[in-house]
Chain A
């Protein structure tokens, strides 16, 4: 099991009101699974991804990544750096860094030496070899999102979390992105957790779930 989520609960306070966003979410993923989650806006998709990505902590419940319970983890930064890759709705590349610097940021943060062969392989794989020294502003929307995906898998994470990855792309680039996810899953046996409104993205899931009223329903 690469990811195991047990009875995850999360509430937020809004003045005197307490909003119960997640009411006990549980699921398991094996390596190579693609979990796609859909649900109406405000249903808690992003909150669930934040908890899985250690960006926020649950009120109760447990997340186990690669047989390691997050309850036992002291350094969440390290877990995010080594076990989790993120792809966002907006590419979120750092404008001041060129493409190769953006891609290698997770490795640089880890303080590890850059494996040039691996980086070159990635750039060939993503068909961005001629864009290494370009800056994000000089890239097209599709290229930016591919760079963002490349950055997400740079440190060979256990799971890749993607929040509305095609939300900011036109149809052509959205389809290319979906193909890329499937290819990455096939070629690298990568595990994905994708929250989306896009039916085409939702349909690539080997496990599909609907988050509704704080509960995750298997489809």
Chain B
């Protein structure tokens, strides 16, 4: 075994833990708690972000072609047809709904009738998923607010004035055939689904196309004409990303503070081991190698603590995802158990930043160690 590693390991786990081990245990705990906190917090944020993504995709699909132009995008549609990629042309219009003096502004999403069935993964109150041009599916929040239930007939009024009818707004009579639940982006407060009677694709009325599935092999991405569900809800997902980053860096302060502690441990152990440093110097160990012992000591302590913290957090995540120990109120949080997800990228980032910060703090005491001359050590200690 390498002599530097051997001695560093023995300094780290002394025979008398009460004498030399307490400092190590305190430093270990600081870094351990820091790593565990970061992984658990990021896992919870990832978990909620995952739910947000899933729910958003149910409404918006995976991709969309906004401002669809048949001449421009025909090849794309042909590719989708060829590769059995599901797509749904639609157009959106704003309408007013009114009932018993209650009014609400809604977005009517009219989908090409042949493409609606099985396209959107909506969580519906009733099993029946079919939809005709006289029927609509409304959101649960809108139904609760306006007092609509399945089977109700409702009138909707266009927000645009129709000049050919003496400036009267155009109206539609529609029947509520189903209710969907999706509180992400408050979509069930304003979104209404129906299918088109008058137009069929590729009529120019269909201004947008939503796509479900993986198009990586079909379309070369990035493609200027295609936007992902994430880009369509950029503000929301940017906000969640920022929240995740802020949480990561705030909790990383625990690691920084623990690194101060680590630095003081390295300093303390180096001060206590000047006799050993003198002996090693006498037998020909260079100053750099002696310093390396304390650097390796610091790293061994820190990496063991951080890896243990990560493993402990992963164990908690596994237990939560398997047994659902931490319960939530689904009325508030959409899910009944705390969602937790962690990625290799998150763990790698934590390790990378930790190694950098620990490297900095473990190196600080070495500058002092290097200033000590062997003869001084020997005269003082031997």
Contact = CB atoms under 8 A, between A and B. Distances in A.
Interface residues of A, number: 28
A94 interface: yes
A97 interface: yes
Contact of A96 (B15, B281, B378): B15
A105 interface: yes
Contacts of B280: 94, 105, 109
B326 to A, nearest CB: 43
6 contacts: A77-B281, A77-B285, A80-B282, A82-B284, A94-B7, A151-B283
Q: Which 7 A/B pairs are nearest by Cβ-Cβ distance?
A: A81-B284, A96-B10, A108-B3, A80-B284, A77-B284, A106-B283, A56-B375
Interface of A: 50, 53, 55-56, 77-82, 86, 88, 90, 92-97, 101, 105-106, 108-110, 135, 137, 151
Nearest to A90: B382
B6 A92 contact: no
Contacts of B282: 53, 55, 80, 86
A94 B279 contact: yes
Nearest to A148: B279
B283 A55 contact: no
B284 A88 contact: no
Interface of B: 2-3, 6-7, 10-11, 14-15, 275-276, 278-286, 289, 374-375, 378, 382
Contact of A109 (B10, B14, B284, B375): B284
A159 to B, nearest CB: 14
Nearest to A78: B284
A185 B76 CA distance: 92
Nearest to B284: A81
A88 B289 contact: no
A186 B85 CA distance: 92
A151 B284 CA distance: 13
A92 B275 CA distance: 8
Q: Which of B284, B286, B374 has the most CB of A within 10 A?
A: B284
Contacts of A105: 3, 280, 283
A88 B282 CA distance: 11
Given A96-B15, A97-B7, 4 more contacts: A92-B382, A96-B10, A97-B10, A109-B285
Contacts of B10: 94, 96-97
Nearest to B276: A94
Contacts of B281: 55, 77
A90 B10 CA distance: 22
Nearest to B20: A96
Contacts of A110: 284
A131 to B, nearest CB: 16
A184 B175 CA distance: 108
A103 to B, nearest CB: 11
A93 B11 CA distance: 14
A138 to B, nearest CB: 10
A55 B374 contact: yes
